[in-house]
Amino acid sequence: PQTIHLADYTPPAYWVEDVHLTFRLAPTATRVLSRIRFVPNSDAPGRFFLHGEGLTLISAKINGAPVSPAFVEDGLTCAVPDGPFTWEAEVEINPQANTALEGLYRSGGMYCTQCEAEGFRKITYYPDRPDVMAPFTVRVEGSDPVLLSNGNPVAQGDGWAEWHDPWRKPAYLFALVAGDLVAHRDSFTTRSGKDVDLAIWVRKGDLHKCAFGMDALKRSMDWDERVYGREYDLDVFNIVAVDDFNAGAMENKGLNVFNASAVLASPDTATDANFERIESIIAHEYFHNWTGNRITCRDWFQLCLKEGLTVFRDQQFSADERSAPVKRIDDVLALRARQFREDNGPLAHPVRPESFVEINNFYTATVYEKGAELIGMLKRLVGDENYARALDLYFDRHDGEACTIEDWIAVFEETTGRDLSQFKTWYSQAGTPRLDMTDSFADGTYTLTFRQHTPATPGQPDKAPMVIPIAVGLLSPNGSECVPTTLLEMTKAEQSFTFEGLEEKPVPSILRGFSAPVIVTRKSDNAERAFLLAHDTDPFNRWEAGRALAKDALVRMVKEGAAPDAAFIDALGQVLADDTLDPAFRALVLHLPGQDDLAQTLFDAGVTPDPIAIYAACDSMADAIATTLESQLASLFDAMQVPGTYSPDAEAAGKRALANAALSLLSRRDNGARAQVQFDGADNMTQQLAGLGALIKQGKGDEALQAFYEQWHDDRLVLDKWFGLQCSLAKPDEAANVAMTLTAHPDFEWKNPNRFRSVLGALASNAAGFHHPSGAGYTVMADWLIKLDPVNPQTTARMITVFETWRRYDADRQALIAAELDRIANTPDLSRDTAEMVSRIRG
Ligand code: DPP
Ligand code: ZN
């Protein structure tokens, strides 16, 4: 397979002026007719080349005369006249056979498309690269009652519909949907008075699950007008829910296609966490209309240009709609769990990668989540006002263009007059910087000295110092804040900052709000952590201090066989008792660090992590907390019950989160009695699932699981939860078996990515079960990856990242994993996606 390099970028030899497509839909033999106006690019003359994959060419014409193209590489070439010309082609494709879910495919009896990144070439011959942008006119002919494509509806009749998208777009934003669908409708009036028809299209039985998504869409549209001055630009905005989808959702112009799990929700079928995720994904895809669609990427190396910025914008939206501190903590938890893990292993790559074999493998936590952190750092460095001015300039200058990170950085440099060349290192240098700190105090002057160091990553042995915005506050020993949050800009490998006029040595609160995606390696003592947990004015660092206490206690249990730390449990009790603190925040403090996080922490400290020992430590810590704080947890559980009709709003959800965190611990004391009552009486999925989870953990889940299955086996999204919970909560020595048994269940539709992930992804999330010394977890995983690869390379290649941490573990586990990786690598006809991933992971 060929490696593609950023440095090799060349502009297209031909531009596209306009595109007409006609689809004659038929499940196994769809005809696609294209009429495309090409114009030579006089700045970059070259061969005429169209991408195409798995297409049967029926006929081709240039300016009306038949031609016989030559099939080369992943497409075709043809002799063409000088100057502009019209290309016409008819191809046949087989949507029914398309299990990879890329291009035009069938899902649950409907037709839908997924073209990002390179799926359009599976629909027709085309220059399938994001820097070629054109207006599209699409005619869909088919027997389904609903026929949708991008842009505005032009006309429709019996068995056909025509759409026109006036906004020039790259082919990856093309979409078509056809099916027996019904719409949940609403409308939105933009601030300049334009009426937009909104619709969420679903199968009949799902109509009651659309209201929340619609509300989230309208709030997103309003927010983007208020905060970024961005208005919507078509007469309609359509969202479609599909069951079979590799990712979460896709921002196709005017026709977003969503994984059903990322849009459909009702109180009885979706949890608070589902509602929150749906809100953020709806916002994300909607925000892409400006950051991605109106301004797109020149090439796929620039993916973070749209994704990092759009994730940042959806994070801002959720912070505004909900609790900003809680959102920040959630985002950092996710960043550490996924991106730090990636950045510290064999798959580490820069936010803007410099080469790839298969671009689908670079829709990563680094591009998305670290990409968003980079935007946050830029904003912190230049300030809110300059950020707003730079964004206005970006939208103004680049509307309708396909851009690069250089274009993005330039608007900030021009707005602020700052040289951001060092900041750009964040885009090119992989790895998570380590930040160490020492301090000293003399004659009223407090000095903080920072040292930064970024470990080597694949292909990047030596690292340059980065610009690190470090938000710092100082507290007096009496607990009051003596220096409010101040932004320090670190640019050197080692750098000191002083604070003068202090009466006594303060307690530092560093990296407030997690102001940069780095790992602070400084070892503070537990007294200082407890002090910050009690007094810090920065909610993020307050939580962080509690987290550090918990980690320290757990690490000592694993490493030294220490008993659960009474001082930590005491501090926890004090936070829980503080009714001035948001329940959602307290719930976060009550959640122990994840077992994978602890494994990485131990590994970083030079200890080979034993997942079984980590599991045991977490288990006995939870027992100790439950025993020590039993009466407090019991009153909290009662106090946090939310009476009345269920609402997914942040306040009610926060109370439920705290009550359910308490329930999980209390179940260790009451043998699951409260959990059973909650499960039996629940009128919403959050409560029902929390009850079920607590029962499973107590070994009392069998009846409840059966009842749950009987109640929900016709609801795919709920049934995914039923599969998932059994795998993620299984005991370490049972997990592989549970997963294996579930894959034999008649409802295990393994070709459906959500269902596949509900078992295999959940197994991997069960760290002690997946890494059980028998190696059975590894074998089940590899068996299924080998089976799925020929059917769906994208989902396989994503799932194989469960092995990315293998170098952390002992020789026996490494040998077991290496054997499975080799077995996968040696499978005949492995997809390009999986082949690239397995070779990078194996190293
Ligand atoms: N571009 C999509 C998204 O991130 C990925 N399928 O929204
Ligand atoms: Zn996106």
Ligand in nearest proximity to the CA of 259: 1
The predicted pLDDT at position 598 comes to: 98
Nearest CA to ligand 1 atom 6: 250
Q: Tell which atom from ligand 1 comes closest to the C-alpha of 246.
A: 6
pLDDT bracket for residue 734 (50, 70, 90):
very high
Q: Residue 758 contacts by C-beta under 8 Å, 6 or more apart in sequence?
A: 720, 721, 723, 724, 727
Ligand 2 centroid – CA 306 distance (Å): 7
C-beta separation of 113 from 98 below 8 A: no
- Is 746 within the bounds of a domain? yes
**Closest ligand 1 atom to Cα of 368:** 4
Task: Tell me, yes or no, whether 210 lies in a domain.
Answer: no
Give the pLDDT of residue 47. Answer: 97
What pLDDT was estimated at residue 169? Answer: 98
Q: Whose CA is nearest to atom 3 of ligand 1?
A: 250
What is the distance in A from the centroid of ligand 2 to the CA of 198?
20
Q: Spell out a b/e string for 748-786, using b for 16 or more CB atoms within 10 Å of the CB, else e.
A: beeebbbbbbbbbbbbbbbbbbbbbbebbbbbbbbbbbb
Radius of gyration of the chain (CA): 27
Pocket test of ligand 1: the residue of 288, 289, 302 to mutate, having most ligand atoms within 8 Å of its CB, is: 288
Q: Tell me what pLDDT residue 1 has.
A: 79
Task: Give the residues surrounding ligand 1 with Cβ less than 6 Å away.
Answer: 116, 247, 249-251, 284-285, 307
User: What is the mean predicted confidence (pLDDT) over 222-242?
Assistant: 98
User: What residue owns the CA closest to ligand 1's atom 2?
Assistant: 250
Angle at alpha carbon of residue 588, lines to 553 and 681, rounded to 5°: 120
Residue 728: give its domain's CATH number.
1.25.50.10
For residue 298, tell me if it sits in a domain. no
The per-residue pLDDT for 31 is: 99
CA angle 116, 121, 125 (to 5 degrees): 145
Please write the tens of the pLDDT for every residue from 737-774: 999 999 999 999 999 999 999 999 999 999 999 999 99
Q: How far is the CA of 575 from the centre of ligand 2 (A)?
A: 37
Average pLDDT, stretch 248-264? 99
Residue 440's CB: how many other CB atoms inside 10 A?
A: 12
Q: What angle do CA 379, 403, 14 make, to 5 degrees?
A: 175
In a domain, 330, yes or no: no
Q: pLDDT tens, 421-439?
A: 999 999 999 999 999 999 9
What letter represents residue 691's amino acid? Answer: G
**Ligand nearest, relative to CA of residue 173:** 1
Cβ-based neighbour number of residue 445 at 10 Å = 12
Distances (CA, A) of 518 to 212, 273, 327, 430, 445: 36, 27, 18, 12, 27
| pLDDT of amino acid 194 | 98
For residue 524, the enclosing domain spans 435-539
* Nearest-CA residue for atom 7 of ligand 1: 250
- Of the pLDDT bands very low, low, confident and very high (cuts 50, 70, 90), residue 607 is very high
- CB neighbours of 40 closer than 8 A, spacing ≥ 6? 13, 14, 15, 82, 83, 84
Mean pLDDT of the chain: 98
Summarised one tens digit per residue, pLDDT across range 112-152 is 999 999 999 999 999 999 999 999 999 999 999 999 999 99
Separation between Cα atoms, residue 349 and residue 367, nearest integer Å: 9
The catalytically annotated residue of 285, 307, 804, 836 is 285
| Number of the ligand closest to the Cα of 262 | 1
Question: Which listed ligand is nearest to 308 at the C-alpha?
Answer: 2
Residue-wise pLDDT for 647-697, tens only, equals 999 999 999 999 999 999 999 999 999 999 999 999 999 999 999 999 999
Number of DSSP helices (H) and strands (E) in the chain, helices first: 30, 31
Q: Kindly state whether residue 9 falls inside one of the protein's structural domains.
A: yes
pLDDT at 262: 99
Per-residue pLDDT, averaged over 325-353, amounts to 98
Distance from residue 361's CA to the centre of ligand 2 (Å): 15
Most informative mutation of 172, 282, 285, 304 for ligand 1 (most atoms within 8 A of CB): 285
End-of-domain residue from the set 155, 180, 205: 180
pLDDT at residue 297 is higher than 90: yes
Dihedral of the alpha carbons of 594, 598, 604, 609, in degrees to the nearest 10: -130
Tokens of 481: 């804040």
pLDDT tens-digit map of 703-732? 999 999 999 999 999 999 999 999 999 999
Ramachandran sector of residue 266 (left: φ over 0; alpha: ψ -120 to 50; beta: rest)? beta
Nearest CA to ligand 1 atom 5: 250
**Which of ligand 1's atoms lies nearest the C-alpha of 284?**
7
Question: What's phi and psi for 60, nearest 5 deg?
Answer: -145, 140
Query: Is residue 249, in this structure, part of any structural domain at all?
Result: no
Confidence grade of residue 523 (pLDDT, cut at 50, 70, 90): confident
- pLDDT bin (cut points 50, 70, 90) of residue 448 is very high
Q: How many domains does the chain have?
A: 3
Q: Of 210, 206, 209, nearest to 198 (Cα)?
A: 210
- Whose CA is closest to atom 1 on ligand 1? 250
- Confirm whether 21 is domain-assigned: yes
Q: Give me ligand 2 centre to Cα 216, in Å.
A: 17
Locate the ligand 1 atom nearest the alpha carbon of residue 363 and give its number: 5
Question: Helix, strand or coil for residue 546?
Answer: helix
What is the pLDDT confidence band of residue 88, given thresholds at 50, 70 and 90? very high
Indicate the helix (H) or strand (E) that contains 651. helix 650-670
**Is residue 738 a part of any domain in this protein?**
yes
> Span 779-806, mean pLDDT?
98
Last residue of a domain, one of 496, 521, 539: 539
pLDDT greater than 90 at residue 393? yes
Which tens digit of pLDDT belongs to each residue from 550-597? Answer: 999 999 999 999 999 999 999 999 999 999 999 999 999 999 999 999
Span from the CA of 114 to the centroid of ligand 1 (angstroms): 10
- Residue at which a domain ends, from 514, 539, 564: 539
Ligand 2 centre to CA of 305 (Å) is: 10
What the block records as the tokens of 584 is: 């959602």
pLDDT of residue 82: 97
Q: What is the best residue among 101, 113, 174, 251 to mutate for testing ligand 1's pocket, by most ligand atoms within 8 Å of CB? A: 251
162 is catalytic: no
CATH number at residue 124: 2.60.40.1730
Strand, coil or helix: 452 = strand
